[in-house]
A = this chain, B = another copy of it.
C-alpha cells in the first residue's frame, strides 16, 4: 500500500528503541495490549510484532514474562514465583461446579449455544450461571447460530485466556485428545431430525475457527461457516 512511501517519509526508530518502547507500554498496562494499539502508540514506521519477538526472547527465564493473550500481549510474573505474591493474591469468588463446567463446555465447544451446554450437562443452565461468567468477562456473545431460532452462542474472551494463561483457545488442555476421541463432535441423538444434524455438522466445523475468527469478528455476521475452511487446513 502506501507503506513504502511512508517509510521513506518517516524514519522508524532503531529496533532497539522499538523494543524499549514495547517494553514500556507492556509494563505500564495491566491489560494485554494488541498489536494495532502498540503500532498506533509507537512512532510511525515501527514494527511492534518484530519488537515483541525480541522482547519476548529477552525476558525468557526472567521473573516476569512476555506472554501472548489471544491477539494481544502482556507482561506477567513467572508462575513459579507465585508463592512470593501472597500479598497480591486476589481471592476470587468460588465458582460453582455448574459455572465451571459451563465455562469448560463453552471453551471447548465454542461457539456454544445454551441448548448445547444443556445437552452436554444433561440439565438446564440457570440464568445466573451464564450471567456470572459474563460478569467475570470470561465469556461473551458470539455469532448467532444460523439455525432455526437463530440462537445466540457464547465464546470465551481475551480475559479468559489471560486469566488461565492461555495463548489461544487452541491451547486448552487436552483439546487435541478430546477432539480426536470425537468428544467435541456433537453427535446427533439417533433418529434426530434432519435439520438438527445439519446444525451439528456446522457446529463441529465452527469450533476450529472460532477462537480466532470470533475475536473481533462481527457478532451477528451472516457468514457463520465461512472462515472454517482455512482453519480446517491449518489443522491438518
Please report A residues at the B interface, Cβ cutoff 8 Å.
19-25, 27-30, 41-42, 61-64, 75, 77-78, 81, 84-88
Bound form: Cα–Cα A42–B78 in Å: 15
CB contacts (< 8 Å) of A78 on chain B: these are 20, 24
Identify 12 new A-B residue pairs, CB closer than 8 A, beyond the known A20-B81, A24-B77, A24-B85: A20-B63, A20-B78, A23-B62, A23-B64, A25-B63, A25-B85, A27-B27, A27-B77, A28-B77, A29-B87, A41-B86, A41-B87
- Select A81's contact among B24, B30, B85, B87, beta carbons within 8 Å: B24
A42 and B84 form a contact (CB under 8 A): yes
Beta-carbon nearest neighbor of A19 in chain B:
B63
A81 and B41 form a contact (CB under 8 A): no
With A20-B78, A78-B20: A27-B64 Cβ-Cβ less than 8 Å: yes
The residue among A24, A30, A41, A88 with the most chain B CB atoms within 10 A of its own CB is A24
The smallest C-beta distance from A30 to any residue of chain B, in angstroms, reads 7
The smallest C-beta distance from A41 to any residue of chain B, in angstroms, reads 5
Give 25 A-B contacts (CB < 8 Å), ordered by A residue.
A19-B63, A20-B61, A20-B63, A20-B78, A22-B63, A23-B64, A24-B63, A24-B77, A24-B81, A24-B84, A25-B63, A25-B84, A25-B85, A27-B27, A27-B63, A27-B75, A27-B77, A28-B77, A28-B84, A28-B85, A29-B87, A29-B88, A30-B88, A41-B84, A42-B84
CB contacts (< 8 Å) of A61 on chain B: these are 20
CB contacts (< 8 Å) of A20 on chain B: these are 61-63, 78, 81
The smallest C-beta distance from A11 to any residue of chain B, in angstroms, reads 17
